[in-house]
Structure 1
Amino acid sequence: MTDLLKQLRPEMTSLLDCFSSPAVLLCCDYTVLAANQAYRRTFGEGKPLQGRRCAEIMAEAGFSCQPSGNHCPLETCQQTGENQYGVQIHTAGNIQIDLYPIRNERAEVVYFLELLHVLSSDEARAAPAMIGQSVAWREVVRLIRRVAPGEAAVLLLGESGTGKELAAAAVHQASTQYRGPFITVDCSGLPETLFESELFGHEKGAFTGAHSRKVGLVEAANGGSLFLDEVGDIPLNLQVKLLRLLETGTFRRVGGIEPLRSQFRLISATHRNLEKMVAEERFRQDLYYRINTFPITLPALRERLDDIPLLAEAILQRIPAAKGLQLHPETLQLLEQYAFPGNIRELRNILERAALLADEQWILPQHLPLALQQPIPSAKTDVQKLPGVDALVTLSELEAQYLRWARGTFPGDRRSLAARLGVSERTLYRKLDALKEGRSLE
Structure 2
Amino acid sequence: MSEDLPALMSYLDGLPEPHIVFDMDYRIVSANAAYLREYAPGQDVRGQTCYEVSHRFQAPCDQAGESCPKARALLSGQRERVLHLHHTPGGEAYVNIELSPLKDRRGRIRYFIEKMEPIAHQHGTPVEQGMVGRAPAFRSTLEMALRVAPTAASVLLLGESGTGKELMAKAIHEASPRAKAPFVVVECASLSETLFESELFGHEKGAFTGATSTRVGLAESANGGTLFLDEVGDIPLSMQVKLLRLLETGTFRRVGSSDLRHTNVRVIAATHRSLRGMIEQQLFREDLYHRLSTFPIRLPPLRERHEDIPLLADTLLARVAPTRHLNISSAGRQRLMGHPFTGNIRELRNVMERAALFCDGDVIELTHIEQALAADAWASGVAVHAGTAFEATPASVPSLSPLTKRQAMDRATLLEAVRLHRGSRAELAASMGISERSLYRKLKAFGA
Flag whether TM exceeds 0.5 (same fold). yes
Alignment partner, residue 409 of structure 2:
none
What TM-score do you get using the length of structure 1 for normalisation? 0.70
Structure 1 residue 375 corresponds to structure 2 residue 376: no
State which of 65, 70, 79 in structure 2 corresponds to 1:76.
65
1:96 CA drift (Å): 3.4
Q: Indicate how the Cα distance of structure 1 residues 206 and 107 shifts in structure 2: closer, same or farther if over 3 A, else same.
A: farther
**TM-score (structure 2 length as normaliser):** 0.69
Q: Secondary structure at the match of 2:190?
A: coil
Q: What is the aligned-residue identity percentage?
A: 44
Query: Which has the larger Rg?
Result: 2
Pairing of 1:191-270 with structure 2 (within 5 A): 191-270=192-271
Q: Residue 139 of structure 1 corresponds to which residue in structure 2?
A: 140
- How far the C-alpha of 1:314 sits from its partner, in A, is 2.7
Separation (CA, whole Å) in 2 of partners of 1:9 and 1:355? 56
Residues 344 and 368 of structure 1, relative CA distance in 2, 3 Å threshold: same
Distance 1:167 1:345 in 2: 14
Matched, 1:36 2:32: yes
- Structure 1 CA distance for aligned equivalents of residues 340 and 113 of structure 2: 37
Of 81-90 and 248-257, the range deviating more from structure 2:
81-90
Stretches of structure 2 lacking an aligned partner (at least 5 in a row): 73-80, 375-383, 390-448
Q: Does the residue aligned with 2:30 lie in a helix, a strand or coil? A: strand
In 2, the alpha carbon distance for the partners of 1:358 and 1:28 equals: 54
| Residue 180 (1) aligns with residue 178 (2) | no
Q: Is 2:120–2:175's contact at 8 Å kept on the other side of the alignment?
A: no
2:9 to 3, 10, 13: 13
Does the alignment pair 1:85 with 2:86? no
Paired amino acid for 1:50: R
Residue 361 of structure 1 deviates from its aligned partner by 3.7
SS in 2 for 1:218: helix
Q: Render the CA deviation track for 1:44-90: whole Å, top value 9, x for unaligned.
A: 555544346889989xxxxx999xxxxx9994336795654266798
- Count residues with an aligned counterpart: 362
Tell me how far apart the structure 1 counterparts of residues 196 and 126 of structure 2 sit (CA, whole Å): 28
1 CA distance for matches of 2:127 and 2:191?
24
Residues 375-430 of structure 1: per-residue CA shift (max 9 Å, x gap):
3559xxxxxxxxxxxxxxxxxxxxxxxxxxxxxxxxxxxxxxxxxxxxxxxxxxxx
Give the Cα–Cα distance (whole angstroms) in 1 for the partners of residues 369 and 335 of structure 2.
9
Deviation at 1:125, TM superposition (A): 12
- Cα distance in 2 between the residues matched to 1:15 and 1:92: 28
Q: Distance in 2 between matches of 1:189 and 1:98?
A: 37
Amino acid at match of 1:13: M
Letter in 1 for 2:159: G
CA contact (8 A) 1:89 1:314 kept: no
* Residues 12-411 of structure 1 aligned to structure 2 (within 5 Å): 13-14=9-10, 16-17=12-13, 19-25=15-21, 32-42=28-38, 44-45=40-41, 48-51=44-47, 75-77=64-66, 81=71, 84-85=82-83, 92=90, 95-99=93-97, 113=114, 115-117=116-118, 119=120, 130-321=131-322, 323-370=324-371, 371=373, 374-376=385-387
> Residues 224-252 of structure 1: CA distance to partner in whole angstroms, max 9, x if unpaired?
11110000111111111111111221111
| Matched residue SS, 1:117 | strand
Distance 1:87 1:54, change over 3 A: closer
Runs of at least 5 residues in structure 1 that lack an aligned partner in the other structure? 59-63, 67-71, 379-442
Q: 1:417 is matched with which residue?
A: none
Cα RMSD after superposing both structures: 3.9
